[in-house]
Structure 1
Amino acid sequence: MAGFLSKERIITGGNFNRWLIPPAALAVHLCIGMAYGFSVFWKPLGNALVGEDGKPLAACAAGAVTVADKLSGTWRALFATDCNWTQFDLGWMYTLFFVLLGCSAALWGGWLERAGPRKAGLVATVCWCGGLLISALGVYTHQLWMMWLGSGVIGGIGLGLGYISPVSTLIKWFPDRRGMATGMAIMGFGGGAMIGSPLATKLMSYFATPTAPGVWQTFVVLALIYTVFMLCGSLGYRVPASDWKPANWVPPVKNASSGMIATRHVHINQAHKTPQFWLLWLILCMNVSASIGIIGAAAPMLQETFGGALIDQGSLSFADIKKDEVLIASLAAVGAGFVGLVSLFNIFGRFAWATSSDKLGRKTTYSIFFILGALMYMAAAWAAGAKSLAVFVGAFCIIASMYGGGFATIPAYLADMFGTQFVGAIHGRLLTAWSTAGIVGPVIVNYMHDMRLEAQVPFDQVYGPIFYVLAGMLVIGFVANLLVRPVASKHFMTDAELAEEKKLAHEKVLPGNESQAKAASGGSRVLAVFAWLAVGIPVSYGIWSTLQKAWALFH
């Protein structure tokens, strides 16, 4: 088994069809991307326990008003079996997901480079799918701590390893299209919820009974499905020989316009000592912080800003509509459509912007993100006041596309700056910026939102100042991006040091006739088509389900 999982076993060369690697990466990322869709479980889990009268039992934090009361209620909810969980209790899993994602990627990124993507992918499979099974047991026994441990902690580790496992592999297979290659895989992480959420909803409906919401059975089925896909994806990974290159491709000596593409390699232990690493850390943190909080609040933001105008009740404010269960249900459907539309732009922005960066350059692409993003937030603030729904929705679709594009472009930016030898490990450490942003962004948005409501600001005027603060964060990112310069030569490894690292990473050089890509054989082309269909069909299902929800916004 050790030999089967070893990196040496999956090193290949010119007779391998490199287009088999992106669907393998997508198979993994589409599964772990369900982390974005876990909110579909909050409401069913919040009403999981019912009394003899058939009504849900009170929440463990019933009557809590202050943050201290809520935290006390959450502590009780961790172990209690006689009260229901609140969204506040369950929402901590989101925090665990993305904090553990960044931490695990940072801790084990170096090991991944030496162990290879197959072994890392299989560990990610065990953690993510095993975590779902532990969560299923937690739901069955009504133990919240098992949910946190299973999906939050163990699953979060699987997220980190699964997220970065294909990054350096894809960059090495596609040195001529770094942005496009990473964009295809990371698009899958954004699309995981697009597939998993409607699937989970159907499964819960199938397994639900009058006294149980069918969540634990859904976790088990999802774990089994994801195990199959993640195993196929992980076993499908291959690593190119160190001297492999695409047919007829000549490596650039230097980017003539900016000098921003390195031809040598920085060691993982040296990367964080460079100013470039911390500038890129700040760039990613600002790009994510400025978007993640507002995207997470997309549905209520639209509803509160436009109120009755969304459902042909223009004279009614959101405060009026809240009092009517029928109207609030209609408004919720429109909000869900907006979330679906934003999700689509987030997903396809990952591929479109990352691919564009191959032509535009990474620094230019991020400059566009920050300038255009700030302008879109100002446009959204104007649209909120002018009640221009089209401008408001359009602005946030563009913002969502650049949020996703930032994730997909950053691995190629790192490869340009630090070389490809340790790009996966460096990317893992940089993802701590995501963990930070996952806390900073929502805290800013939610704090300002709640404070303005407490100040009796009308619902439709709450978000304007928030948009300007987020635009200011993008300005900080823009300045950081301007300061990025090529890495100083003293930070790069010597040829002898690089050779030693290649030896430690179990890399090898293939015979000269295998060092360059050859035309794919008929069999490998058929296999590639099958692999793309295997991931393309679920993606199509997710797109169709999302478009059905988004139609409510235009209907």
Structure 2
Amino acid sequence: MASVPETIDLPGRAPGWLDKERTIAAPGYNRWLVPPAALAIHLCIGMAYGFSVFWLPLSKALGVTAPLACPADTGFFSAVFSTSCDWKVTWLGWMYTLFFVFLGSAAAIFGGWLERAGPRKAGFVAALCWCGGLVVSAAGVYTHQIWMLWLGSGVIGGIGLGLGYISPVSTLIKWFPDRRGMATGMAIMGFGGGAMIGAPLADKLMRYFATPNSVGVWQTFLVLAALYFVFMSAGAFGYRLPQTGWKPAGWTPPPPSRQAMITSRNVHLDKAWKTPQFWLIWGVLCLNVSAGIGVLGMASPMLQEVFGGRLIGLDLGFNDLSPEQRTQIATIAAGFTGLLSLFNIVGRFFWASLSDRIGRKVTYAVFFLLGIALYASIPSLGHAGQIALFVAAFCVILSMYGGGFATVPAYLADMFGTQMVGAIHGRLLTAWSVAGILGPFLLTYLRDFQLESGVPKAQVYDITMYILVGLLALGLLCNLLIRPVAEKYHMSDAELAAEKVKAHERSMEPDAPTAAPAAFTPAVALAWLAVGLPMLWGAWITLQKALVLF
């Protein structure tokens, strides 16, 4: 078969390598080359979930073997700029808040720009921000200035997270109109899997670079920045867009219907966020994520405090354990956390793919109904000592947490069309920013409040679980209220044509083939191996840790 050019140059000025015109695929381009490109970016930025691997080493960056405490009279700002005492883990933990606040903010602010600039430019800028932020953080560790970590990885890196996260959404949905959920699930699965690869890799690098005078963190940041920049750049340059009008061979779009939850029209970004559907889906995502993200952050202490010595066959509470016994159950809890991460990843692909068959609204109804039942059962399972069922319940919960992220882009495409779905998705991710504060607040502060009130550690999570049940009930109500978008919000044919011109799109020639080549080719195999092998390595490391549970 004659070779097919990868892209088509449009008339006018010669497009630059990052311009959207350079990403428009020629007829016959293999769409299965696009998901690995998206995965390459998401697997790198997904390390945001694994940044806690740095907290303990950084808390003794000066002392090396033990934290070097600041004098008792040291003020906050003095401690922040001090080069003579170590940082507290709680200060380092602010990185998480910065990550997700700036992820949502950047996605909302730059979503419209992404649709016009194209995924390649957005992906490359994301690489510059995420990797550049790591370099700034490395300088912050080297000079012992925590504000440089907050600025570098937290703010600059957070902007890279937002751009990188939404960069493939619109592209994948346009390449896979027949399997929207599966396509976005494949990419967003990578965000969940980034920590599974990055955390053990960072741990090995820190051990390699550690010396009697250094914990090896700043060197690790620089190595990760170089590795991530190569992978993210490869992903960005691997993006291709289909020509307007392209569709898979043999696929027929579903017929339009007033009752259909999949529209054949498009809604402009400026109108989409003013619709009730946008805010209902915003509520659906925020409430689903709030419940899951709080549990994810407290999984390890929760298992230890609820079951205590029963994790190692002893009928003792957590406070009655010796330091050696607490070390044993901490190892088991780390395996529990790894298992939850694995289900978070698998759930992104499983639930998003399932949503192509049963519909997005039904999928979220399952999330909320099943979640309500599981969260409500957690206290009883804990008090009854049912460790296996307790673990299984949280594994399913975390699969639905990941599935909520992966399914929502397809839900938006169903509601608002595909023309500006990436930008709309960016606006919606502000729900994640809110959830990133609400979820951990509920679990950590309610836990501390109950402990101060004298509630035993094994029971402090009971009330919290019932509050999360209430959040899920609200989410279910939001989901049930979602209806198709009213026609008054749809773009007219003239408005759509004008938007396509602004987005530098090119329509297919009338006689151009619509079929894509076979899914498996040597190029496709190599692309999937490049992202698949690191994922398999990370999964193997995670499973090894999880086996401690059994």
Name the CA distance, whole Å, in 1 between partners of 2:79 and 2:133: 20
Cross-structure match for 1:166 = 168
CA contact (8 A) 2:31 2:516 kept: no
Cross-structure match for 2:386 = 388
Structure 1 unmatched ranges of 5 or more: none
Are 1:320 and 2:316 counterparts? no
Match of 1:4, SS?
Answer: coil
Cross-structure match for 1:295 = 296
Name the CA distance, whole Å, in 2 between partners of 1:125 and 1:434: 21
CA contact (8 A) 1:77 1:144 kept: no
1:27-66 pair list within 5 angstroms:
27-50=40-63, 55-58=66-69, 60=70
Are 1:218 and 2:220 counterparts? yes
Deviation at 1:325, TM superposition (A): 2.2
TM-score, normalised via structure 1 length: 0.95
1:15-414 pair list within 5 angstroms:
15-50=28-63, 55-58=66-69, 60=70, 73=76, 75-254=77-256, 258-313=259-314, 315-321=315-321, 324-414=322-412
Name the CA distance, whole Å, in 1 between partners of 2:464 and 2:385: 17
CA contact (8 A) 1:22 1:170 kept: yes
Deviation at 1:278, TM superposition (A): 0.3
Name the CA distance, whole Å, in 1 between partners of 2:66 and 2:505: 62
Name the CA distance, whole Å, in 1 between partners of 2:435 and 2:67: 35
Kindly provide the CA deviation profile for residues 489-526 of structure 1, in whole angstroms up to 9, marking residues without a partner as x: 000000000000000000011223335123249xx811
Name the CA distance, whole Å, in 2 between partners of 1:102 and 1:306: 36
Cross-structure match for 1:545 = 541
1:320 is matched by which residue type in structure 2?
A: D
Name the CA distance, whole Å, in 2 between partners of 1:181 and 1:77: 47
Deviation at 1:18, TM superposition (A): 0.2
CA RMSD of superposed structures (Å):
1.5
CA contact (8 A) 1:373 1:399 kept: yes
2:22 is matched by which residue type in structure 1?
A: R
Which of 512, 525, 532 aligns to 1:529? It is 525
Kindly provide the CA deviation profile for residues 374-410 of structure 1, in whole angstroms up to 9, marking residues without a partner as x: 1000111210121111111111000000000000000
CA contact (8 A) 1:115 1:505 kept: yes
Name the CA distance, whole Å, in 1 between partners of 2:257 and 2:39: 30
CA contact (8 A) 2:28 2:515 kept: yes
Are 1:474 and 2:472 counterparts? yes
Could you list the structure 1 runs, at least 4 aligned residues long, displaced by more than 6 angstroms after superposition.
none
Match of 2:81, SS?
Answer: coil
Cross-structure match for 2:4 = none
Name the CA distance, whole Å, in 1 between partners of 2:312 and 2:332: 8
Kindly provide the CA deviation profile for residues 187-239 of structure 1, in whole angstroms up to 9, marking residues without a partner as x: 00000000000000000000001121000000000001101100110000000
Bigger mean CA offset, 350-359 vs 5-14: 5-14
Name the CA distance, whole Å, in 2 between partners of 1:497 and 1:510: 19
Percent identical pairs in the alignment equals 62
Match of 1:507, SS?
Answer: coil
CA contact (8 A) 1:28 1:233 kept: yes
1:83 is matched by which residue type in structure 2?
A: C
In the comparison of the two structures, how many residue pairs are matched? 537
Match of 2:311, SS?
Answer: helix
CA contact (8 A) 1:44 1:213 kept: yes
Deviation at 1:369, TM superposition (A): 0.2
Kindly provide the CA deviation profile for residues 10-62 of structure 1, in whole angstroms up to 9, marking residues without a partner as x: 111431000000000000000000000000000000011128xx65311x4x7
Name the CA distance, whole Å, in 1 between partners of 2:353 and 2:222: 36
2:41 is matched by which residue type in structure 1?
A: V
Bigger mean CA offset, 484-493 vs 381-390: 381-390
Match of 1:513, SS?
Answer: coil
Cross-structure match for 1:6 = 19
CA contact (8 A) 1:15 1:520 kept: no
CA contact (8 A) 2:269 2:423 kept: yes
Deviation at 1:329, TM superposition (A): 1.1
2:541 is matched by which residue type in structure 1?
A: S
2:293 is matched by which residue type in structure 1?
A: I
Name the CA distance, whole Å, in 2 between partners of 1:254 and 1:320: 64
Structure 2 unmatched ranges of 5 or more: 1-13
1:147 is matched by which residue type in structure 2?
A: L
Name the CA distance, whole Å, in 1 between partners of 2:363 and 2:512: 35
